[in-house]
Amino acid sequence: MNEEYGFGGKGNAYTEFSAETLKPYIDRHYRTLPEPENTLIGGSSFGAYIALYTAICYPDLFGKVCGISFVMWQDDGAIIRLIQQSDISPAMGIYLSMGGQETDNTDFNQTAYEHVVKVRQTLIAAGVDENRIRFDFIPDGTHHESTWGPLFAEAHRWLIHL
């Protein structure tokens, strides 16, 4: 629960469900390549956050992460601490993006950008190969599907070719 903003979620339950129920179901019922190097999890906004969180918590399942319009303003640095305390594979592939026009508040946009830079730096310090982390900054990008759609196609293409 974020006390300042008065909201919280069920991120751990979502992460557990994704890793322990949904992925095994998909792998049992469809022709997949179930290894982490072939398994991508992704999302936009808070979905980007929970995708990275899930991959960190379940590195034996998820080897690639797509985080479009990644946000962490709500977590008081928790994802940074998690990265620092986790054993992250140097082979993990991570795509992150941020738009310059995420909101109409330029100070917030600058802070959001700095957060993504900090996440990238922390991942590299934790041992992830720098060439396996891509951060795209889109100066006119907004916090909207009109920006996210084209980014997803490029992120997916980049991640599957790692």
DSSP per residue over 94-140, as a string?
EEEEEEEESSS-HHHHHHHHHHHHHHHHHHHHTT--GGGEEEEEEEE
DSSP state of 37: G
- Taking the C-alpha atoms of residue 82 and residue 119, their distance in angstroms, rounded to an integer, is 11
Place of tokens 């900090």: 118
pLDDT band at 9 (very low <50, low <70, confident <90, very high): confident
pLDDT band at 73 (very low <50, low <70, confident <90, very high): confident
* Per-residue pLDDT at 74: 84
**Is 137:97 a contact under the CB 8 Å cutoff?**
yes
Give the residue with greater pLDDT, 79 vs 2: 79
* Per-residue pLDDT at 85: 97
* Of 140, 48, 41, the residue nearest 92 (C-alpha): 41
CA-only gyration radius of the chain, Å: 15
* Per-residue pLDDT at 6: 57
CA 134 to chain centre: 11
For the cut 60, the answer to whether the pLDDT of residue 78 exceeds it is yes
Quote the pTM value.
0.93
* Of 80, 90, 91, the residue nearest 119 (C-alpha): 80
| Angle made by CA atoms 148, 151, 152, in degrees to the nearest 5 | 85
CA-based end-to-end distance of the chain: 36
**Is 118:74 a contact under the CB 8 Å cutoff?**
no
Digit-coded pLDDT (tens) for 123-150: 999 999 999 999 999 999 999 999 999 9
pLDDT band at 76 (very low <50, low <70, confident <90, very high): confident
- Taking the C-alpha atoms of residue 86 and residue 77, their distance in angstroms, rounded to an integer, is 14
**Is 33:63 a contact under the CB 8 Å cutoff?**
no
DSSP E strands in 35-79: the ranges are 40-44, 64-68
* Per-residue pLDDT at 7: 56
* Per-residue pLDDT at 4: 59
Give all domains of the chain, ordered by start, each with its CATH number: 35-160 (3.40.50.1820)
* Per-residue pLDDT at 8: 63
- Average pLDDT, rounded, for the chain: 94
